[in-house]
Amino acid sequence: QVQLVESGGDLVQPGGSLRLSCAASGIIFSTYTPAWYRQAPGKQRELVAAIASGGGATAYAANMKARFTISRNNARDTGYLQMNSLKPEDTAVYFCNAARDVLTTDMRDLSRFSSWGQGTQVTVSS
């Protein structure tokens, strides 16, 4: 059974940084493409970033690439999202999910996922 647990969310001031973690179990993490998503109040869930199983290829939402960095540590079965220069509009619940045999750009299709974790809350406010 696939289990992905997000952590690292917090209240941070504008301009601050956070690193989110996504701990995987029940899968051979190194063969999966993990991705981060976020959902702000009243808005649809959207892709933030995805990273290929080998870690070489990445995909980002256009307005996040300059400030966010996705990475992975296959030895620890964990994915990460480093977020810098945070803005109030980054406030959202952040989720991770993962799929096999897909391109990073395929991860924009949220309909491929039948379940989600609880996510981790990121609040950017002064």
Which sign does the torsion angle of CA 111, 45, 73, 102 carry? Answer: positive
pLDDT in the model for residue 117? 94
Residue from 97, 65, 61 nearest 79 by CA: 97
Give pLDDT tens digits for 17-31.
999 999 999 999 999
pLDDT in the model for residue 1? 75
Give pLDDT tens digits for 40-49.
999 999 999 9
Q: How many other C-beta atoms can be found within 10 angstroms of the C-beta atom of residue 103?
A: 13
Q: Cα(78)–Cα(25) distance, rounded to whole angstroms?
A: 9
Which sign does the torsion angle of CA 20, 25, 28, 32 carry? Answer: negative
